[in-house]
Structure 1
Amino acid sequence: MGQGLSCRGSHEHGLFTAVQHGDLQTLQTLFERDPTVVHHTTAYDRHSALHIAAANGQIEILSMLLDGSMNPDVLNRQKQTPLMLAAMHGKIACVEKLLEAGANVLMFDTLYGRTCLHYAAYYGHSACLKAILSAAQSSPVAASWGFARFVNVRDARGATPLHLAARQRRPECVHFLLDHGALVCASTGGYGYPGSTPLHLAARGGSMDCVRELLAWGADRLQRDATGRIPYVVALKHKHGACARLLNPTSAEPLVWPSPLKFISELNPEAKDLLERALMDANREKEKNILKGSVYSLPSPSHSDSGIDDSISEGSNPELCCICFEQVCTIEIQECGHQMCAQCTLALCCHNKPNPATACLTPPVCPFCRSSIARLVVVKMESYDDTDRDVGDNNSSKLSKPRKSRNLNEGGSSSFKGLSSFGKIGGRGSGRIAAENEWVDKQ
């Protein structure tokens, strides 16, 4: 497999043993005696000292070797780089140091034709995955090869990093890859031939969290693999009953991350996180009914949106959403300043299933003033302390008066009664490669 970090054949000088155990003093002595020893490799796997330091997380030794002008992209017998081994073993400090030293993220091994991104996704090291993607955005890869192409890079068997993360039950990696442009319905087939999608592989692995993420990003439950099976059949074959119920084409369609929000020029990260959590909470409410085998019905709303403290003080002046009149306003539209709850914001943009023929190509508009929504931010709750107010101040009553009337007067909510039902959907906010001889799309 090329993954063993054996020091056999090298005990005569102790180089690799010293690297593996972080013995700097022994290394310095060896280098002083023979500077060329740094270029020695293990007998069989052809691991260099840099490979062993990266795989074992020996950041001091790795830094010393790199500072000594050692090539960060030195290859072992399987054409694996130190960056690949660091990503495989989750050594984030070594990954960052190698990237800082200019390690090439776009190198493929000869084992399965995989990159460092494949390794990070397969083993579920999300911190390494984020570091590699961040480096790729600012490296020549983004300009010459294309960042989106790198995120969806295929190995020798047609698997993208998203395929591997879904197959190995790595929901955090799945989410991060999707958020950075991974194709949710990519097939391992290639050239127009059918193959497994990430949803097929998540169904095979039985990860509910991965299935949820993929469905929320628009994965097609009816897409067939090379043998003509939909993910539902795959889940049944591998006896993952809960996944099968969610993937059953006759069950309620999950809510999908709204494609119109992609046209908003600047989606505040906090607002995006709030909206994503609201959508996932809504889908979990659907799941409860699906897993119970009951007909889907809209759950009762909570008193606060996801991420908002339940115990809002009397002086915090929360404003109820003027669309559903039940949730607290948590999302503000800029520049007009109108506010809604996260669930109603999603209702303006959300659809049950992506349809390229009817996808919205223009930004969504504010339901109150009909201006284009250019930016969404999280509402900042303002609090007022009764002790600081002047008892004789006639304006003090205005401070405690909710601003709800502004939205009612400006836009009126009667025309949005159809959206109120959606406002009720949001529940309470809330190594070694094993079995690598199997084809990724083999079910």
Structure 2
Amino acid sequence: MKFFSIIGNSFGCSASGERLVSAARDGDIQEAKALLEYNPRLARYSTFGVRNSPLHYSAAQGHHEIVSLLLESGVDINMRNYRGQTALMQAGQHGHWEVLLILMLLKANIHRADYLNGGTALHLAALNGHSRCIRLLLADYIPSIADCWDILSKGSRDNGSISEFDGSALREVINRPAEGGITALHMAALNGHVESVQLLLDLGASVYEVTVEDGTTIDLIGAGSTALHYAACGGNPQCCQILIARGASLTAENGKGWNPLMVARSWHRNELEVILTIQQENQSQICPSPYISIPFMSIVKIARECGWRNNDTLPTCDDTCVVCLETKCTVAAEGCGHEFCTRCALYLCSTICISTVAQGPAGSVACPLCRHGIVSFVKLPGTKPLVKAIARTSLSLSFCTCTGEEPDFPSMTTPLRKPDFQCIKIFPPSSFRSLSCQKFPSMNFNGSRCMGASDTTPLVPCTLDLNPCKREARCSRSRIRRSTSNPERRKSWLSALNQYVTTGTGC
């Protein structure tokens, strides 16, 4: 009976889990709230086969409200599907920067790689040309200092005097190869994403990284190819010009003996003949990427420490944010001193492209009030650190074990039962035997054969009219255990049960 009860619970969780998956995919926030309030452990549900969780679907569709709801329910932020992809990779692949921002604030792991091709979230964002997502993924590596652009443009390796900046770590992350040695710059150049190519180069991507022969993929361009070889295959003239201006060689040959010009000819990119033929000596100076956003690291640190959502609305207070006019100010811009709430400061650094009219260093964000270039944000004195709330659940959903709070099911009543049903939680369940005890299934037995009461615990009276023989019946789990250990008692008990089922009388 316990086995069938477990199977029934798993089927019920599967149905509710599929409903939550549909709500996460369709953006139905009310349905998702109702399901998670009923059973918070549904946040850990994953579909059969592909093992996509509701967090994967909501991140892929850009439903940031449902993503926040799932994370508050205790879901693992780095949960993987069958390919090894996380919600961070799904958001980066589809360019949903709001979801990506929430995941980055909660310190999602950006180093997780796809099981099939070894690509990370940075590779997927570069593959589809989502420059803003690329910048968000590198939030912990670009310091909020005034001379950040000079350090990045010079590519100096002597950055020991700057405690917040580790140039080697940034270069390691941005030049991390996927399967076949393909970097994020290779992917962006192949698909002709000019803005992503420029941003990656500004942040330290190397034009000298080459692919390798791994024996598992079909490389039509050839092993040993640089990003310029891939740009020549893609056929975008601007990508080729930017790479050449940053030092890419026109004479570099890959494993097939092809230079970028030969690759362009093999793919019939005739418009690249002039660009890839003559190495231009005097290259025009390229302006920094509008997606650098130097103050982003400073506001991310404050948001992680003090939270980025403030539900305390202050409509009559004079100290409200000048952007949203709803919440109190928590941060101030260094330099001009204008104050904002954390959420508006995050959106300011994430959405606005850097403008040249900002009166500040390259990469600074223009203040919406005075147009002064913001390099970093500082926390206001009254801003308090965030008290971390305990997640509502941390249990997996392999099988739903019973909890201390037992739901009321009118159809699952027996003539006699214990008023307070206690179960022992076992985490995690390793087998059917290690699961905690379940309530007896929905089968109406006679009181004389009850399996849920003990000798010392008073029984809840039943509304049914029981005969004197049945009223005298008492049963306990200890008796059942003793009877199962004795073959003769077990045989007599089963005989009495069969007699009751066939004739309806047990006395």
Instruction: State the TM-score, normalizing by the size of structure 1.
Output: 0.53
> Given the alignment of the two structures, is residue 234 of structure 1 paired with residue 263 of structure 2, yes or no?
yes
1:19 — aligned with what?
Answer: 24
199, 204, 208: which one aligns with 2:237: 208
Q: Which of 142, 147, 168 is 2:170 aligned to?
A: 147
Do residues 117 (structure 1) and 122 (structure 2) align? Answer: yes
User: Of Structure 1 and Structure 2, which has the larger fraction of its residues in helix?
Assistant: 1
Matches within 5 A, 1:253-402: 253-256=280-283, 272-273=287-288
Task: Give the equivalent residue in structure 2 for 1:160.
Answer: 183
Distance between the aligned counterparts of 1:98 and 1:117, measured in 2? Answer: 14
> Cα deviation per residue 1:123-142 (whole Å; 9 max; x = unaligned)?
1111101111223446x997
Which of 180, 191, 199 matches 1:176? 199
Per-residue CA distance 1:401-423 (angstroms, 9 max, x = gap): xxxxxxxxxxxxxxxxxxxxxxx
After TM superposition, give the deviation of residue 34 of structure 1 in Å: 2.2
Deviations 1:20-65 (A, max 9, x none): 1111221122123222211111112101111111000001000111
Confirm whether residue 42 of structure 1 aligns to residue 47 of structure 2.
yes
Q: Deviations over 1:170-196 (max 9, x none)?
A: 1110000001111112111389x9611
Q: CA deviation at 1:272?
A: 5.0
CA separation of 1:110 and 1:141: change in aligned 2, threshold 3 A: farther
* Aligned-residue offset at 1:253: 2.1
Distance 2:177 2:233 in 1: 20
Larger Rg: 2
Residue 63 of structure 2 is matched in structure 1 by 58
Rate the CA distance shift 1:255–1:190 in 2: closer, same or farther, 3 A: farther
**Counterpart residue number, 2:452:** none
TM-score (norm 2): 0.47
Give CA-to-partner distance per residue, 1:112-153, whole Å, 9 cap, x none: 101110000001111101111223446x99769811111101
Unpaired segments ≥5 residues, structure 1: 1-8, 259-270, 275-374, 378-443
What is the match of residue 224 of structure 1?
A: 253
Q: 1:48–1:141: structure 2 CA closer, same or farther, 3 Å change rule?
A: farther
Give the one of 81, 84, 90 matched to 1:85.
90
Written as runs of structure 1 = structure 2, the 5 A alignment for 1:65-104 is: 65-104=70-109
Shift of 1:11: 7.6
Partner SS for 1:103: coil
Q: Cα RMSD over matched residues? A: 3.1
1:343-362 per-residue CA deviation (whole Å, 9 max, x = no partner) reads: xxxxxxxxxxxxxxxxxxxx
Aligned-residue identity in percent: 32
Alignment length (residue pairs) = 254
1:192-236 deviation per Cα after TM superposition (whole angstroms, max 9, x unaligned): x96110000100111111101101111100000110100001111
Inter-partner Cα distance in structure 1 for 2:241 and 2:119? 26
- Distance in 2, Cα, partners of 1:126 & 1:132: 10
Output the amino acid matched with 1:128: C
Q: Is the 8 A contact 2:175 2:206 kept in 1?
A: yes
- Distance in 2 of aligned mates of 1:273 and 1:34: 49
Matches of 1:183 and 1:144 in 2, distance apart? 13
The aligned amino acid for 1:29 is A
Alignment check: 8 A CA contact 1:141 1:147 kept: no
The offset of 1:12, in angstroms, is 7.3
SS of equivalent residue, structure 1 residue 245: coil
Structure 1, 181-190 or 107-116: larger mean CA deviation: 181-190
> Residues 105 and 136 of structure 1 are in contact (CA less than 8 Å); yes or no, is this contact kept in structure 2?
no
2:111 maps to which residue? 106
Task: Name stretches of at least 5 consecutive residues in structure 2 with no aligned partner.
Answer: 1-13, 144-162, 215-221, 290-359, 363-507
| Change over 3 Å in CA distance of 1:164–1:376 after alignment to 2 | closer
Q: Does the aligned pair in 2 maintain the 1:194–1:224 contact within 8 Å?
A: no
Q: Is the 8 A contact 1:217 1:257 kept in 2?
A: no
Q: Which amino acid counterpart does residue 108 of structure 1 have in structure 2? A: A
SS in 1 for 2:180: coil
